[in-house]
Amino acid sequence: MVNSLKQDWFSNIRGDLLSGIVVALALIPEAIAFSIIAGVDPKIGLYASFCIAVIISFVGGRPGMISAATGAMALLMVTLVKEHGLQYLVAATLLTGVFQIAAGYLKLGSLMRFVSRSVVTGFVNALAILIFMAQLPELTNVTWHVYAMTATGLGIIYLFPYVPKVGKLIPSPLVCIISMTAVAMFLNLDIRTVGDMGELPDTLPIFLWPDVPFNLETLMIILPYSAGLAVVGLLESMMTATIVDDLTDTTSDRNRECKGQGIANIGSGLLGGMAGCAMIGQSVINIKSGGRGRLSTFTAGVFLLVMVLVLDEWLVQIPMAALVAVMIMVSIGTFSWTSIRDLKNHPLSTNIVMVVTVVVVVATHNLAFGVLAGVLLASLFFANKVGHYMAVTSELDETTNTRRYTVTGQVFFSSSEKFTASFDFKEAVDNVVIDLSRAHFWDITAVGALDKAVIKFRREGADVEVIGLNEASATIVDRFGVHDKPEAVDQLMGH
């Protein structure tokens, strides 16, 4: 217990503190922007980001991962806020947390094993593209100063690590933000700053119970929004955890993360905040800035609030160009450039899954739709591929006029037609033996195919014997098969 506490919290104090400060600076304009997207006051997103980051640092299942208010969640709130107001959003946030805690106890985090590597790669690439696209408004119809500041900021981010001694000690994104702010203030440049994004709060968040009627009507209003928020939040969090696992060569407790996200969202709702989830951009900033433990996430949340309340006069002076440079660095670092090179080496099906995931996410700006499309395609390709690994061979014993069919491989909905087509029902034989000792039956479609084969042979006057079923296959055949029941032919013809 003590060793785990030290490892998670105090094994990388300097790196976690510095990276947490960088993340906090990057969180402020994003939290404000996401609040504007959702149609609520900027303080709602800032309070949510503070609350979620602090709580998840204690209860989350992935040390070093940053959770806060996100664009993916904000997009789902727009209609609810517009039609019913902030109080219903707070209620929906609380219910979202309940759903996510339930998902954790139901161990739904384990379902991530069904998400293939090609889907994860597509998700990452799409998110990198969305992060970059989100910066374009800050680079459109602006003066040359903005482009110069952004280019200089990128130069600092990529070149500062090569400076002897200090280059590895201080995160280059932090140096970029501080130096660009100093230059903008010294030269009194007329460029867009954090202060232009919206008014910052000047008080601590307070406990807020949603002022809505507690009845079935309210539940019906918030239920679809809460369900959508819970699914998207968990999907983005689980995918981000996978990315952070890869970046740090460590593992995460996904089911604990589900419960942690739920607890964090309930905390956010009780303080008047909006629902949030893990942020891949800020998580990548954290890892690349040296953050590894829970202290980095905690620092990000606490420093965010301190800056907003205490350092607000300085904070509003930060040029958006500096933060744009940081986010462009994140998008470049997030994109899997090897996936472009691997297009000519990977199977066509893998490439299609990756590209479709990217296209759907970018087109809809909804991560859940992209992941769902990718998983569905990957499943279809897998089913089709496995369906080909089924073969039926046969041999004739002329002395007894017996045809023996030996089935090898997986029999399920994809391979059932091939299974049925492998039998010669018109052959004049007295006996048919179907040997299934090398086969496995997976579903009722496969059982139906076996029924059809047996009954067709019997119609042609042959005695049929089915042998070799393993225990699992025998169970499903005994339960759903009809070929050994008196009413078999009638039932089969009735389907």
What is the CATH number for 403? 3.30.750.24
Taking only the tens place, the pLDDT of each residue in 21-54 is 888 887 877 777 677 677 777 788 888 999 999 9
Percent of the chain at pLDDT exceeding 90: 17
- Whether residue 340 lies inside any domain: the answer is no
- pLDDT band for position 495 (50/70/90)? very low
Greatest Cα pair distance in the chain: 102
Answer whether residue 429 is part of any domain.
Answer: yes
Domain coverage including residue 291: 7-335
DSSP 415: T
207/187 Cα distance (integer angstroms): 43
Q: Which two tokens stand for residue 140?
A: 């459109």
Query: Would 34 be classed as within a structural domain?
Result: yes
> If you average pLDDT over residues 261-290, what whole number do you get?
88
- Is the domain of 120 the same as that of 249? yes
Structure tokens at 198: 């919206």
Task: Please tell me whether residues 292 and 393 are part of one structural domain.
Answer: no
Q: What is the mean pLDDT of the chain?
A: 84
pLDDT tens digits for range 419-466: 888 898 888 888 999 998 899 998 898 898 888 888 888 888 888 888
Mean pLDDT of 231-251: 85
Cα dihedral value 23, 28, 34, 37, nearest 10: -150
The pLDDT assigned to 487 comes to: 59
Residues 15 and 95 both lie in one domain: yes
Output 78 or 476, whichever has higher pLDDT: 476
Q: Please give the tally of structural domains in the chain.
A: 2
Q: Are residues 192 and 323 in the same domain?
A: yes
Q: CA-CA distance, 80 to 86, in Å (whole number)? A: 8
pLDDT at 237 over 80: yes
Q: Can you give the pTM of this predicted structure?
A: 0.71
Domain ends where: 269, 300, 335? 335
Q: Are residues 61 and 170 in the same domain?
A: yes
Please check whether residues 418 and 278 belong to one and the same domain.
Answer: no
**Residue indicated by tokens 């503070």:** 50
**Residues contacting residue 312 through CB under 8 Å, at least 6 positions apart:** 200, 202
Per-residue model confidence as pLDDT tens digits over 343-365: 888 888 888 999 999 999 888 87
Q: How confident is residue 486, by pLDDT bands cut at 50, 70 and 90?
A: low
Which domain-ending residue is among 335, 365, 398? 335
Are residues 147 and 282 located together in one domain of the fold? yes
- Of 290, 307, 335, the last residue of a domain is 335
For residue 5, pLDDT over 50 is answered with yes
Q: Are residues 323 and 466 in the same domain?
A: no
Which tens digit of pLDDT belongs to each residue from 81-116? 888 888 899 999 999 999 999 999 988 877 777 777
